[in-house]
Every structure is written in C-alpha cells, then in structure tokens.
Amino acid sequence: MSEKLSILVVEDDDALRDALQLTLESAGHEVTGADGGPAALEALRQKTFNMVVSDLRMSPMDGLVLLGEIRSRHPGLPVMLMTAFGDVDKAVAAMRGGACDFMLKPFEPKALIEQIARYATPPAPAVGVVAVDARTRATLLLAARVARTDATVLLTGESGVGKEVFAHYIHEQSVRAKGPFVAINCAAIPDNLLEATLFGYEKGAFTGAQAAQAGKFEQANGGTLLLDEISEMPLGLQAKLLRVLQEREVERVGGKKPVPLDIRILATSNRDMAAEVRAGRFREDLFYRLNVFPLEIPSLRERPGDIVPLARMTLAKMAAAAGRAAVFAASAEARLAAHSWPGNVRELENVVQRALIMESGKLIEAAALPLGEALDLHPGSSSVAEIPGPAVPPAPTSVDATAAAPANMKDLERQHILEVLASVGGSRRKAVAILGISERTLRYKLNQYRSEGFFSGSEDE
C-alpha cells in the first residue's frame, strides 16, 4: 500500500469489527471503529476520514439511515456497505442513495483491501477545472468517486454551469480514460436525423445513405458516451434508447445484426427531470435507467468562491490566445464577485471575452465589464411558446451592425436567427418555417442565446 488512508469501520458485532480493523491495519491503514451509527457520526464530527465501511443491518440506526446522514453532512465522503445475501435489495437502494459500493458477506480480506484502494484514494487534481469553492470541491469529489465505477451518471444543473466539463472529468478519472469520449447534443440535431446519428445506419437505409456509417454508440465503444441535453430527446426515440441501454447492444438503422457495446453512459439536462417524467415528456423507466448516480452541478452564484479564480483563468487563456497579457484590476474583480451570474460560467466567459476586446491595455478595469445589461433569465424552465415581439431584440441599425459585425459563423447564425424571429413578431412557428429548422432546435438555440446574454425573451411566455 503506497498511501496510508484513514478508514472508519462501523459494525455492531464486536468480533467482526475487530477483524475488519485488523485486516485494514495490516494493509497499512489507520482505522477507527464505531459500534453503530451514532458513534460513527460522532467520530466523523471529530476527525476527517478517507472512507466509511459500514454494516447495513444495525440497531437503532441502520446503514441506510447512516448513509443518508453522511451524504447530507459529508457529501464527498465515500461509503461502502457490507450486507448479507438477503439484503441485496436494500444494498441496491443504498447505491441509489449514494453508496459507492456494497460487499456481500462473507468476503475475503483481499477483496476489502482492493475496494478501499479503489474508492478511498484521493482523486487526482482536476486539470482545467476551477474548484476553489467548498461546494465545487465536494461536487468534484463525488464526480471522482463515481468515476471509478461504471455507473451511469445523470448530471443536472442550470444551463451554462459546466456539466460537460464535469462529464469530461469523470471520463478522465475512469478506467476508460484511454478510450474515446464521444458527445452528442440531443437538442441540436433534427429529430429525423437523431436516430441515425446515435445508432448508425446501413447503406441504403434511407435516401442519401450511400455508405454504412457507425453511430455515436459504436464510436464510443471502449470509452464514454455523453448524451447531452437528454431531456430534449423525442419520446419515440427514448424507447429505442432504453432498449440499447438494457441490452447493451445497438442495431443500425436498416441493419439486422446487433453490435455489442462496452461503454459508459453519461447524460446531462438543465431541466427538472422528475417534473419532465410527471408531465409525460420523458419516460419514467428511462429516467431511472439514467439516474443511477445523480450529480447536480451547482450554479455559479451557489459557488461564489469560484467566480474570481474562474474569471482569472478565462482571461489568461483568452489573452494568451490573442497574443497579449491582461489582468483584472481589483475593482473589476470586486464587480465580478458581486454579480449574480444568471447565465453561469457561459455568461462569465462571454463577459471576459467582451471586456478583453473593449480594453486594449493590460489592466482590465471595472468599467470594461459589460455587466449592466438586464437579462431576463429563468434557469431550469424549458417551455418556449410564442415569444412576444418586444422581448426580441430589434434588428441592429446600420451603425450598430458595423460595430457588432459577426466575427464567425456562430455569431452570424445567431444574428440571422434573432433577426428572422424579430421580423415575424416573435412567432416561433413562423420563424422555423423560414429558417428550415425544427421547433426543438430553435428552442435549444434560444435557450443558449438567452444564457449567453444575447437574447432576453422569457422562456415561460
């Protein structure tokens, strides 16, 4: 054992607790014993541990109750439960409640030592991830713990919080790190193409299919597949996705031969998934299949300790890319820290980029930060109906257009979509007819523009 770890063993059987302590101490660990849940919580209050190993069936506080207490007080601490064969159902419930794993009694000492090494080892540093705030560190620790398993993870949080960054981190910390990381945005692909993109297709499967093509599932074999914005997937396709996840094999469109899969599934959503299920927009069985390990990414306003460090890192990257040096003045950092960031990390990146453009010198002053714009954001909401004309920014005048000329195709597309929407008085149905895209795609793009601060229409209207 290369690293000495601090382990808390919770077992009301004195002889078994002593045996477990002896096993772990012989492996070089520091072990504290507790004869039940209350004693374990007291030990956790007095000392920091790398991992908790607890029996499931105890009195008066059983392992499930203890797990819930630990999850609420120490969310990043891995907990493994020991259980007899007859309690497997409870053990599965414990996994859903946040346990990192469970072991069936009796087990070999070697198996226990291997599990300790797997889950209790502190995670590797998160390259490129800012985790200064305590809440972010706790979330990152949870991500590192689940990364060492093959459990399906559902990452939720407001738009722009960095869910894909955490998804990348989970892949990089997993045993599949050397395999491919494949991401697909379920909201950005038209419904009629999404199935073929996910599952692949055979030659001649449909008009234009001139050659066979592997889908995203096959491309991710041996690695990780990220289903971004999974809540935007049409109901009909959800049923097919459920079958693929259950059978661990995929059949291409127009094909007859199933392709076996060895992949880890991650999914993201900026919606309340339970509410989507209740509303009938998302299959309940698929939700539970994806929600094996839920991981909520806190909004930027909920982790204020990250704001200034994140802004500094973003500024350094953007300035280096532009071939110049730039730093924030103290007054600018104070203003950044005081902002509520309704658009989260994505809004912060846009603010930094625009400030870097506006300020030609090395020092970025507070006045250069475009934070005075009122943004009508409603994170977590999802319905976009008819958007009233006044909520849509008017088409720029010739002077404004010159000053804000699109710098790339993404900017050009955004300007075109917003101008078309304004020209039809905010009617989504009229806009999609002119633009030639689906309502779902338009809704996704408007949500994106809204979180980036380019569009102020309300999602609820």
Q: Is 269 helix (H, G, I), strand (E, B) or coil?
A: strand
Average pLDDT over residues 99-128: 82
Predicted pLDDT of residue 394 = 36
Task: Give the pair of three-digit tokens for residue 375.
Answer: 């943004």
Separation CA 195–CA 215 (nearest Å): 9
Q: From residue 313, how far is each of 254, 304, 318, 319, 322 by CA, in Å? A: 48, 15, 9, 10, 14
Is residue 172 a contact partner of residue 165, using CB atoms and an 8 Å limit?
no
Q: Is the pLDDT of residue 124 over 80?
A: no
Q: Is residue 422, in this structure, part of any structural domain at all?
A: yes
Query: 16: Cβ–Cβ under 8 A, 6 or more apart, which residues?
Result: 55
Predicted pLDDT of residue 83 = 84
Predicted pLDDT of residue 397 = 34
Separation CA 210–CA 208 (nearest Å): 6
Q: Is the pLDDT of residue 460 over 60?
A: no
pLDDT single digits (tens) 60-111: 898 889 998 998 888 778 899 998 766 667 767 777 777 878 888 888 999 9
**Backbone phi and psi for residue 183, each to the nearest 5 degrees, phi listed first:** -120, 140
The residue among 274, 296, 318 that closes a domain is 296
Q: Is the pLDDT of residue 399 over 80?
A: no
Strand partners for 268: 155
Separation CA 392–CA 369 (nearest Å): 23
Q: CA angle, 308 as apex, 305 and 309 as ends, to 5°?
A: 85
Q: From residue 26, how far is each of 1, 110, 144, 218 by CA, in Å? A: 10, 11, 27, 45
331, amino acid identity: S
Residue scoring higher pLDDT (262 or 408): 262
Lowest mean pLDDT among 28-42, 197-211, 279-293, 338-352: 197-211
**Backbone phi and psi for residue 254, each to the nearest 5 degrees, phi listed first:** 80, 0
Residues 145, 184: one domain? yes
Predicted pLDDT of residue 387 = 30
Predicted pLDDT of residue 135 = 86
Separation CA 226–CA 181 (nearest Å): 8
pLDDT single digits (tens) 405-450: 544 557 767 888 888 888 888 888 888 777 767 777 788 888 888 8
Question: Into how many domains does the chain fold?
Answer: 4
pLDDT tier at 353, thresholds 50, 70, 90 = very high
Separation CA 375–CA 354 (nearest Å): 16
Q: Is residue 230, in this structure, part of any structural domain at all?
A: yes
Q: Is residue 125, in this structure, part of any structural domain at all?
A: no
Residues 308, 255: one domain? no
Predicted pLDDT of residue 39 = 95
Task: Give the pair of three-digit tokens for residue 342.
Answer: 């309704």
Residues 407, 317: one domain? no
Predicted pLDDT of residue 86 = 67
Residues 325, 345: one domain? yes
Q: Is residue 68, in this structure, part of any structural domain at all?
A: yes
Q: Is residue 331, in this structure, part of any structural domain at all?
A: yes
Angle between helices 344-358 and 439-452 (to 10 degrees): 60
Most confident listed range (184-193, 328-337, 372-381, 422-431): 328-337
Which secondary structure element, helix H or strand E, spans residue 249, and what is its range? Answer: strand 249-250
Q: Is residue 91, in this structure, part of any structural domain at all?
A: yes
Residues 258, 285: one domain? yes
Separation CA 20–CA 109 (nearest Å): 8
pLDDT single digits (tens) 143-195: 887 888 888 999 999 999 999 999 999 999 998 999 999 999 998 888 878 98
Residues 281, 401: one domain? no
Residues 215, 362: one domain? no
Q: Is residue 16, in this structure, part of any structural domain at all?
A: yes
Residues 50, 101: one domain? yes
Is residue 191 a contact partner of residue 240, using CB atoms and an 8 Å limit?
no
Q: From residue 183, how far is each of 107, 199, 223, 235, 237 by CA, in Å? A: 39, 13, 11, 20, 17
CATH of residue 237's domain is: 3.40.50.300
Q: Is 340 helix (H, G, I), strand (E, B) or coil?
A: coil
Predicted pLDDT of residue 434 = 76
pLDDT tier at 33, thresholds 50, 70, 90 = very high
Predicted pLDDT of residue 418 = 87
Residues 15, 108: one domain? yes
Separation CA 437–CA 443 (nearest Å): 10
Q: Is residue 192, in this structure, part of any structural domain at all?
A: yes
| Neighbour count for residue 204 (Cβ, 10 Å) | 12
* Domain membership of residue 12 as a residue range: 6-120
Task: Give the pair of three-digit tokens for residue 76.
Answer: 């990043």
Average pLDDT over residues 110-122: 85
pTM: 0.65
DSSP per residue, 118-174: HHHSPPPP-TT----SHHHHHHHHHHHHHHTS---EEEE-STTS-HHHHHHHHHHTS
Tokens 């690695």 belong to: 223
pLDDT tier at 381, thresholds 50, 70, 90 = very low
Task: Give the pair of three-digit tokens for residue 407.
Answer: 């710098």
Query: 300: Cβ–Cβ under 8 A, 6 or more apart, which residues?
Result: 161, 306, 307, 310, 341, 344, 345, 348
Query: 158: Cβ–Cβ under 8 A, 6 or more apart, which residues?
Result: 270, 299, 344, 379, 380, 451
Residues 215, 284: one domain? yes
CATH of residue 114's domain is: 3.40.50.2300
Residues 148, 242: one domain? yes
Q: Environment class of residue 211 by beta-carbon count within 10 Å: exposed (0-12), middle (13-18) or buried (19+)?
A: exposed
Residues 258, 209: one domain? yes
pLDDT tier at 19, thresholds 50, 70, 90 = very high
CATH of residue 332's domain is: 1.10.8.60
The residue among 296, 329, 350 that closes a domain is 296
Q: Is the pLDDT of residue 377 over 50?
A: no
The residue among 120, 143, 167 that closes a domain is 120
